[in-house]
Structures are given as structure tokens and as C-alpha cells.
Amino acid sequence: MRKVLYSIIALLALVSVGQSASAQYDNQELIRVYRWLNTVDNNYVTLAEGEIQEGQLLQWKYKEKTLLFYAYKTPGADRVAVYRWTNPVTKDQTSVAEDEATDSDMQQKGYTLKSLQFYAPVRRAENHIAIYRWYKSKSKDWVTIPEFTDTDKYWDKGYKMKTFQYYGVMRNEYER
């Protein structure tokens, strides 16, 4: 009788742990955010999952898809909207939080096609990491880099002006 009771308790514990672990990964409110490199123009772009179809990005010669962090799909307390802007002259695309620059400032710099990407936390909390944008003046390109990234390789490529943007959500410690 004890063996049966212990087996049932162990089974219930395993089911409970499995459900809580899968609930973390099935959070419908979060979306993956990736960085891609265009090998023709040597420009980086930050995109939320599904923002542009992966097949289209590959046709446009984008490679090096890298998971950066998770963000929110919906607005909420202590979240900022992040928009993607495109500069047709330099072929650059950059992600800008709504309080970083005005629309007129971005348009004066030659950026158009503003589109909402995601909502990012504005305060550090558990599982949040700082997200920075680095600028390369030679090619007028911006790259999004989480705080736990090997920044030396971007420094060596000419990216210098580091600016804090917002926080990203890390789902587990292995994504650093």
C-alpha cells in the first residue's frame, strides 16, 4: 500500500513539475527577438519572430540569425513600445523605443516605414537583461546587443557608440 501511495505522489510531483516547466515556455505573451546580418549590405537588423518571414530574409541574403531576448507582444505597465525604422538610402534598419527619438527626428535622419515590433520592459527585474544599441559611423549601421554578449567582436568591426535602450526577458540561464 505504501509503495502505491509513494508512486502516486511521485507521479503527481513529476506531472506538476512538467506542467510548470512547460508553462514557462508556452507563455503566449512573450515573443522571441532575433538579430540578423545582411551579408550584402553588411547591416544588422533586429526582428521579432514572424515580423518578416524567414524565407524572405534568406532571399534578401540575411544570415547569422541570433536569439537576443524575449519581449512582450502587448503593452503593459513598465513597458515601452519598440519600433523598426528603415533608411532606404543607407539600407539600414534600426529598432527604436518610443521615448528615444521623435518621429520627426527619425524622418530628418532619413528613416521611414515605422512599424511596431514589440513591447520591452523599462525596469530591471528577475530574468531581465539590459539591451544596448551600438552605432558604426562608417556604414551608418546600428546593432542591438544584450549585455551578456561578446562585445569585443563588434568593437573590432567599428561599432562604438553604445546606448542603453530597454530590458529584454531571458527565459532561462542557458540563453545567456
Using a cut of 0.85, tell me whether the model's pTM lies above it.
Answer: no
pLDDT at 132: 92
Q: Could you give the angle at the alpha carbon of 145 between the alpha carbons of 142 and 120, nearest 5°?
A: 95
Q: How far apart are CA 69 and CA 35, in angstroms?
A: 10
Query: Measured on CA atoms in the order 104, 74, 148, 87, is the torsion positive or negative?
Result: negative
pLDDT at 147: 86
**Which residues in the chain come in under a pLDDT of 70?**
1-27, 172-176
Q: Answer yes or no: are the C-beta atoms of 112 and 132 closer than 8 Å.
A: no
The x, y and z cell numbers of residue 154, run together, are 563588434
Domains of the chain, residue spans: 25-175
Looking at residue 173, the DSSP 8-state letter turns out to be: G
